[in-house]
Structure 1
Amino acid sequence: MFAQKTMAETADLAGLPAGDKGRSLWQDAGQRFVRNKAAMASVPVLLFVVLFASFGQFLTPWSNEEVDWSLLGQVYEEGGPSWENRHYFGVDETGRDLFARTVQGSRISLMIGLIGALVAVIVGTTYGAVAGYVGGRTDQLMMRLVDVLMSIPYMFVLILLLVVFGRSMFMLFVGIGLISWLDMARIVRGQTLSLKNTEFVEAAVATGVSTPVIIFRHIVPNLLGVVIVYATLLVPSMIIFESFISFLGLGVQEPLTSWGALINQGADHMRYVGWMLGFPLLFFTVTLFALFFIGDGLRDALDPKDR
């Protein structure tokens, strides 16, 4: 009872609410994230895009490959958005429903962005943490390999892979996986160097804890803030990268599609019909802004200087 009263009095003297005395760092970061209006406004927007990509196909009777023969070749006359024929976003030049294709394009673009971020988190975090903690020649060798890989013009290499081995989703994932983890490895390695000489790591070494356990039980959990922030900023970068490749016609191939492929198709008809470009571009832009705002909000919330 005396201890509880003393803690409450201490909180009062410090000018803090009594309920804040037991708040963890993650709870504090969560409250600061909630106070970020742009980030909080972006959360329901991103949730809407994810729900649209996941369940949008149930809102239309048309599939992404089905052709409406009555509108084939009529894109400039009767192929606009309509509630009567349930082509909510209109049709493309071949009579396929643009709503269903936008749903599929959203699903593929988000999947590519998430896979790229997942590869970066797993491979980059492991690689950077091992290099930073082990140090010495191992660190120099591992980071020189990263420097060599980062010096390769990956746009040229990816285009070469797609041309030689075929334009497929698998090769697109391979190309994105080659570049997504390099920056993460360098960031994690730098943070690991600042953590390896802290007291809790030295205590673990003194008690005989093995190196793998120290890395994955003591180092990596303390890097989660940096990893989460960079991962949220990496997802839109991967989406932009894939969209650019698909815009060039080297990414996702028919009958599959993505935001980049849809924007490429819509750009060819933008002088006559705006919906073919407008709807995919709207989802692409809104999603990128939402991801960037959320990433910026997480960066501010997890910044130790603001605690």
Structure 2
Amino acid sequence: MLPNAARVKSVGEAAEIAAVQGRSLWSDARTRFFKNKAAVVSLIVLILIGAFALFGQFIAQYERDTVDFTLMGANAYQGVPSIETGHYFGTDSSGRDLFARVVQGTGISLMVGMVGAFVAVMVGTLYGAIAGYHGGRVDGIMMRIVDVLMSIPFMFVLILMLVIFGRSIFMLFLGIGLISWLDMARIARGQTLTIKNKEFVEVAHAIGVSPFRIILRHIIPNLLGIVVVYATLLVPSLIIYESFISFLGLGVQEPNTSLGALISEGASNMAYGVMWQLYFPLLFFVLTIFAFFFVGDGLRDALDPKDR
């Protein structure tokens, strides 16, 4: 018979081991993610920025397209940020409320990044999984196509599409999403080469499940970890691309705006002393980019099996 103290200790260790073994992959990843303070703070910042983009229009005292003609030519000293006048972020060079414009710009930049990342992840994951599962000649042909497409300058193709087919938000979504899937395809293909040799895939193949169904039901669900991490790291990259395109004047067109267009306009007016036109959109741009990167790093650490 064990002493009481030893018995209690052994029972406690068994309970702890059972608790550890009872955790699923996602519950374990959630616990590890919330231990990362930088990732949690960044997630809160992203939630606040998303709420600002969704509900900021209800706080704005002016419409984003309303022009205050009394500020034309006097913007530098009458269009300053003020709670009393209702222009919380001041006004732009045309006398429009900058707060309402930043709300719209933040929403469009987030939408471009998230929709573009969704398209890239969907196309890239399916393409890479098909190539990796079939292997052989099919894999060789499909990945050589990816190599050829990756050799073409991404920004040049995007600018060319916007010039030829028109400068619209839809073309911006389509161009960014359909070109940025290439890296995801290579990542998915590499992971699929490992997964397709697992026992559950061989069993599904042995009982006559079709290859496409195996890819959808068994391969892709096991890629969700890497896909989620890559998507969170891809969103800020796409926001940067969109901001650069809008900075060049080829992105979102008036009366709509984005953070890149607002930064471009603010930078061009710095010489006139209206620094707030640059600072406020730049602040939201920097916070959004860093928050996404920290959340992506937190998810990568939480889902990395080698780090457990």
Give the TM-score category using the shorter length. Answer: over 0.9
- How far 1:18 sits from its partner (Å)? 5.0
| Partner deviation per Cα, 1:106-139 (whole Å, 9 max, x = no partner) | 0100000011110012111110001100111111
Alignment of 1:30 onto 2:39? no
In 2: Cα distance, 1:263 partner to 1:297 partner:
29
Amino acid at match of 1:299: R
Deviations 1:166-198 (A, max 9, x none): 222122122212312110010000000011111
Q: Aligned residue for 1:179?
A: 179
Distance in 2 (CA, whole Å) between partners of 1:221 and 1:9 is: 40
The question of whether the paired residues in 2 share the 8 Å contact of 1:73 and 1:95 is answered with: no
Q: CA deviation at 1:268?
A: 1.0
The CA deviation at 1:26 is: 1.0
Which whole-Å CA distance do the structure 2 matches of 1:11 and 1:155 have between them? 62
In the aligned structure 1, how far is the partner of 2:212 from the partner of 2:244? 39
- Matched to 2:303, the amino acid is L
Q: Distance in 1 between matches of 2:157 and 2:207?
A: 47
Q: TM-score normalised to the size of structure 2? A: 0.93
Q: Residue 155 of structure 1: CA displacement?
A: 1.4
- Give 2:209's aligned amino acid: V
- CA contact 2:29–2:303 (8 Å) conserved in 1: yes
Give, in whole Å, the separation in 2 of the partners of 1:147 and 1:248: 28
Residues 11/95 of structure 1: CA separation in 2 closer, same or farther (3 Å cut): farther
Cα distance, 1:12 vs. partner? Answer: 4.2
Of the structure 1 ranges 66-75 and 185-194, higher mean CA displacement relative to structure 2 is found in 66-75
Q: Deviations over 1:44-77 (max 9, x none)?
A: 1000000000010000121111111222222111
Q: CA RMSD in A?
A: 1.6
Partner in structure 1 of residue 256 of structure 2:
256
Shift of 1:215: 0.6
Provide, for residues 194-232 of structure 1, a one-character-per-residue CA deviation record: whole Å limited to 9, x for no partner. 111111111111111111111111111111000000000
Alignment of 1:1-307 (within 5 A): 12-13=12-13, 16=16, 19-271=19-271, 272-307=273-308
Task: Kindly indicate whether the alpha-carbon contact (under 8 Å) linking 1:80 and 1:90 is maintained by their aligned counterparts in 2.
Answer: yes
For 2:39 and 2:20, how far apart are their aligned partners in 1? 23
Matched residue type, 2:203: A
Structure 2 vs 1, CA of residues 13 and 126 (structure 1 numbering), >3 Å: closer, same or farther?
A: same
Q: Which deviates the most, 36-45 or 269-278?
A: 269-278
Separation in structure 2 between the aligned mates of residue 211 and residue 176 of structure 1, nearest angstrom: 30
The change in CA–CA distance for 1:24 and 1:145 in structure 2 (over 3 A counts) is same
Q: Is the 8 A contact 2:118 2:177 kept in 1?
A: no
Structure 1 letter corresponding to 2:65:
E
Please give the secondary structure, in 2, of the residue aligned with 1:77: helix
Q: Is the Cα–Cα contact under 8 Å of residues 33 and 298 in structure 1 kept in the other structure?
A: yes
Q: Number of paired residues?
A: 300
Shift of the 22–61 alpha-carbon distance from structure 1 to 2, 3 Å rule, reads: same
Q: Give the direction of change, closer, same or farther, for the CA distance of 1:17–1:96 in structure 2 (3 Å limit).
A: same
Name structure 2 gaps, 5 residues minimum: 1-7
Q: Determine what percentage of the aligned residue pairs are the same residue.
A: 66
Offset of residue 162 of structure 1: 1.9
Is the 1:113–1:238 Cα contact (8 Å) retained in structure 2?
yes
- Cα contact 1:29–1:302 (8 A) shared by 2: yes
Task: Report the Cα offset of residue 17 of structure 1.
Answer: 5.7
Structure 1 unaligned spans of 5+: 1-7
Aligned-pair distance for 1:10? 7.3
Separation in 1, partners of 2:213, 2:31: 32
SS at match of 1:277: helix
* Aligned-pair CA distance for 1:15: 8.9
Note closer, same or farther for the CA distance 1:10–1:230 as it changes in structure 2 (3 Å cut): farther
- Tell me if structure 2 keeps the 8 A contact 1:243–1:261: yes
